[in-house]
Amino acid sequence: MKVLIIEDDKSVALSLVKGLIEKGYSAQTVADGDSGLLQAQTHDYDVLIVDRMLPKRDGLSIIKTLRSQGNNTPALILTALGEVDDTIEGLESGADDYMKKPFVFAELLARLKVLTKRTTPSNDTMITIGDLNINKITRQVSREGKILHLQPREFDLLVYLASNRGETITRQMLLENVWGLQFDPHTNIVDVHISRLRQKVDKDFRDPMIRTVRGIGYLFDRPAR
Amino acid sequence: MTLPVKPTKQSTTPLTTPLRYTFIFSFLMIICLMPILAGLYFELYRNTEKSARLRLQAEQSFFSRQTQNVATIDSLFHDTRVIALHDAPPAIWQQQLTKTTIKLTDKIIAELDWSRYQLSDDTLVTLIPDTNTLIAIPIQRKHATLILLQSLLYLSVVVLIVMFIFALVVSSRIMRRIDNIDYTAKEILAGDIKKRIPVFGYDEFSRLSQTLNAMLEKMQTLMADLRQVNNNIAHDLKSPLNRLRSRIEVTLLNPRNNEEYRHVLAQSIEDIDDLLKTFNALLLMGNLDSNSRNYQLKPLALSQLLTDMGDLYSAIAEDKQQTLTLKIADDIQILANKNLFAQAIGNLLDNAIKYTPDNGSINLSAMQQADTAIIIIDDNGPGIPINQHKVVFERFSRLDKSRHLPGTGLGMALVRSIVKAHNATIKLADNHPGLRVEIRLRAMPRALSDNQGQ
């Protein structure tokens, strides 16, 4: 998996490279906007990590240019805390995700994994994972043939987890993608919702599908036999 | 603290501003007097000649009424000169035919030796009809000019003296007041921040002193607040750091297996994350309060956001057997930054759920009155004593009874900063029992929001 990091803060870039190589990625760094754009245009990458404020050319402009040239390499934008805080603007430019510095590396990793997978979007109306069946049209969920009665939000939560099966999903990602909210809730609010979902999806069955990843978030996959 | 240096009372510099102004003013006044005096001079010039003519006429008729014996005639004015005709130059003879009064010119004087008559060119001469006698009357213009110049000199001197005395008096009075302020300012500079400017009377200076005193008072309280906040920050950040340090220290005391190290490191990361959260909140508040960053406000469907937030938080309320009731009017639109506003509402709901005991009830309501959107979060928990209503918005100001509960002590301070950045107001009230938080801000007009949609 090849990652291009366009970041002018050397220490951030260095720790990113170190962490990514540790996790089996191959990573390259570029320190300014123009050479970043050139590098992204001339080489193939699986994902781009782009700082928002860069010398010579800002991060959003890089992504806009790439998209206009038909380059759809998934991109994640990084912003310093307190910079113009506008997720929408970031996403409108064609970026696929958005993170604030200082970030937690595990969170970044989780998002990168989801991003690289998203390049092959599944528009299936049915999701089947092991003995779990989700129908996105009728919003019906069944496990081992038994119908599960989920609240609308619980259904959304399950669909998000299921579409990213096998990937670690952080609490922040759940809050953003299921509730459309991006803030720091202080409390274990997402955990409470997950535990409710567990009550319905996992409790009455032998093998749990929702697993807790300590210190990071959750992972959803077919029961490990 | 540096040793306070007692400021010396500054000796008044001889050329104070009022004194300087007075000098400039009197100079200008003298310049202004010049044209007036010039006008006066010309008027005098004309009038002396006119009066000399009148005197000459009077003298002429006086003479004609007297006997023809020139030797015995008297003059009406003491400076009248009587001149025998044969002494007069031809120019006068010619003038005599027309019987007009003429002015002596240098040429006429030069033609004959008139020195014995002690005449100057500044003299009017005429012939007394039917006699061989001329009479001459000096105009005395030079004399008048002299008087005028003298009076100008006296006037200038008097003006200058009066002005100087006036300036000294005014200047010393003003300087006394300014010195007072200056002296106090120096004392404050030297470290005595409790010093205030003495106020006398009701003039501009006492008004200025009062304003300055009020400003000093305000700054002193702000400084005290800031010091308190700094102490709180230091204290609240110190304890988790201490905890972190001692845990790592204890771990390093003896060799342990990898699993144990891993566990301690993971725990430490959690603690560090908490600290980072606190710093982020502090930075965010700093940015919001100083307006240094541009947080774009965009149309936001408030009703939708509050419903989502209610949905999110109802789960933890239910865990505490609390009922979270939503009463949210449809289609309220505001201008807001969604993430920041969600943070504020989240903090308030979090507090309500945290402090309301089990089985309590919490309401989240929103309505629109004219062009104002009102958001109310109330609970039937213990509430907050009225005298603490202001305190809860301060950073790290946790009420004693909440010290044992988890939290950064920044929640409400952040709420206030966010509310301020949205030009909204927040008010705490007693809910009998419980706390009622009310946020008011401008709602977008319905017609407009219909067009813009979500």
CB of A76 closer than 8 Å to CB of A112:
yes
**Would you say residue B400 has pLDDT above 80?**
no
Question: What does the pLDDT read at residue B438?
Answer: 92
Nearest to B337 among A85, A153, A179 (CB): A85
Q: Does B289 touch chain A (CB under 8 A)?
A: no
For residue B266, the chain A residues in CB contact (below 8 A) are 214-215
Question: What does the pLDDT read at residue A55?
Answer: 85
**Would you say residue B220 has pLDDT above 80?**
yes
Report d(CA B308, CA B386) in Å as an integer: 31
Give per-residue pLDDT as tens, B81-132.
777 666 666 666 555 555 566 666 666 665 655 555 666 667 777 766 666 6
Question: What does the pLDDT read at residue B439?
Answer: 92
Nearest-CA distance from B204 to chain A in Å?
45
**Would you say residue B240 has pLDDT above 60?**
yes
Which is more confidently placed, B400 or B334?
Answer: B334
In this prediction, what percent of chain B has a pLDDT beyond 70?
A: 77
| Interface size between A and B, measured as CB pairs under 8 A | 76
Query: With bands split at pLDDT 50, 70 and 90, how would you rate the model's confidence at A88?
Result: low
User: Looking at A39-53, B267-281, B393-407, which range is the least confident one?
Assistant: B393-407
Q: Report whether the peptide linkage leading into residue A102 is cis, meaning its omega lies within 30 degrees of zero.
A: yes
Identify the closest residue of chain B to A89 by CA–CA distance. Answer: B296
Nearest to B294 among A84, A102, A196 (CB): A84
Query: With bands split at pLDDT 50, 70 and 90, how would you rate the model's confidence at B440?
Result: very high
Give per-residue pLDDT as tens, B20-49.
777 788 788 878 878 887 888 788 777 877
Question: What does the pLDDT read at residue B366?
Answer: 93
**Would you say residue B374 has pLDDT above 90?**
yes
Name the nearest CA neighbour of B177 among B12, B21, B24, B22: B12
Question: What does the pLDDT read at residue B173?
Answer: 83
Question: What does the pLDDT read at residue B294?
Answer: 64
Which is more confidently placed, B328 or A98?
Answer: B328
What part of A 151-180 touches B (C-beta under 8 Å)? 153, 175, 179-180
Q: Which DSSP category does B116 fall into? A: G
Name the nearest CA neighbour of B184 among B200, B195, B172: B195
Query: With bands split at pLDDT 50, 70 and 90, how would you rate the model's confidence at A123?
Result: low
CB of A40 closer than 8 Å to CB of A62:
yes
- Nearest 5°: CA angle at B222, between B217 and B228? 130
**Would you say residue B308 has pLDDT above 80?**
yes
Which is more confidently placed, B296 or B450?
Answer: B296
Query: With bands split at pLDDT 50, 70 and 90, how would you rate the model's confidence at B452?
Result: very low
Nearest to A184 among B277, B298, B354 (CB): B277
Contact A186 B283 (CB under 8 A): no
For residue B297, the chain A residues in CB contact (below 8 A) are none
Report d(CA B122, CA B140) in Å as an integer: 7
* Cα dihedral B60/B62/B67/B73 (nearest 10): -80
Q: Does B270 touch chain A (CB under 8 A)?
A: yes
Which is more confidently placed, B205 or B15?
Answer: B205
Query: With bands split at pLDDT 50, 70 and 90, how would you rate the model's confidence at B349?
Result: very high
Identify the closest residue of chain B to A197 by CA–CA distance. Answer: B315
Nearest to B339 among A182, A186, A215 (CB): A182
Query: With bands split at pLDDT 50, 70 and 90, how would you rate the model's confidence at A93?
Result: confident
**Would you say residue B454 has pLDDT above 50?**
no
Question: What does the pLDDT read at residue B96?
Answer: 54
In this prediction, does ipTM exceed 0.85?
no
Q: What is the mean pLDDT of residues B194-209?
A: 84
Query: With bands split at pLDDT 50, 70 and 90, how would you rate the model's confidence at A118?
Result: low
**Would you say residue B405 has pLDDT above 70?**
no
Q: What is the residue-wise DSSP string for A111-152?
A: HHHHHHHHTS----SEEEETTEEEETTTTEEEETTEEE---H
For residue A102, the chain B residues in CB contact (below 8 A) are 276, 280
Residue type, A179: W
For residue B276, the chain A residues in CB contact (below 8 A) are 102
For residue A101, the chain B residues in CB contact (below 8 A) are none
**Would you say residue B1 has pLDDT above 50?**
no
Q: Does B337 touch chain A (CB under 8 A)?
A: yes
Report d(CA B343, CA A16) in Å as an integer: 29
What part of A 45-104 touches B (C-beta under 8 Å)? 81-88, 102, 104
Report d(CA A217, CA A191) in Å as an integer: 9
Give per-residue pLDDT as tens, B277-288.
888 888 888 878
Q: Does A189 touch chain B (CB under 8 A)?
A: yes
In this prediction, what percent of chain B has a pLDDT beyond 90?
A: 8
Q: Where are the alpha helices (DSSP H) in B66-140?
A: 90-98, 106-111
Q: What is the mean pLDDT of residues B174-194?
A: 86
For residue A188, the chain B residues in CB contact (below 8 A) are 316
Contact B312 A83 (CB under 8 A): no
Contact B313 A189 (CB under 8 A): yes
Query: With bands split at pLDDT 50, 70 and 90, how would you rate the model's confidence at B5?
Result: very low
Give the best residue of A85, A108, A171 to mutate against chain B (max B CB count within 10 A): A85
User: Looking at A71-85, A189-203, B167-181, which range is the least confident one?
Assistant: A71-85
Identify the closest residue of chain A to B311 by CA–CA distance. Answer: A153
Contact B342 A81 (CB under 8 A): no
Identify the closest residue of chain B to A80 by CA–CA distance. Answer: B280
CB of B401 closer than 8 Å to CB of B357:
no
Nearest to A82 among B283, B311, B347 (CB): B283
Other CB atoms within 10 A of residue B128 CB: 22
Other CB atoms within 10 A of residue A101 CB: 16
**Would you say residue A115 has pLDDT above 90?**
no
Which is more confidently placed, B14 or A127?
Answer: A127
Nearest to B315 among A102, A180, A189 (CB): A189
Q: Which two tokens stand for residue B316?
A: 């933890």
Nearest to B315 among A86, A102, A192 (CB): A192
Contact B293 A83 (CB under 8 A): yes
Which is more confidently placed, B311 or B234?
Answer: B311
**Would you say residue A111 has pLDDT above 60?**
yes
**List of E strands, B81-166:** 81-84, 102-103, 123-127, 133-138
Question: Which residues is B83 bridged to in the sheet?
Answer: B134
Contact B346 A185 (CB under 8 A): yes
Which is more confidently placed, A180 or B10?
Answer: A180
Q: What is the mean pLDDT of residues B370-379?
A: 91
Q: What is the mean pLDDT of chain B?
A: 78
Residue type, A154: E
Within 8 A by CB and 6+ apart from B291, the residues are B421
Contact B315 A196 (CB under 8 A): yes
Which is more confidently placed, B381 or B373?
Answer: B373
Query: With bands split at pLDDT 50, 70 and 90, how would you rate the model's confidence at A73?
Result: confident
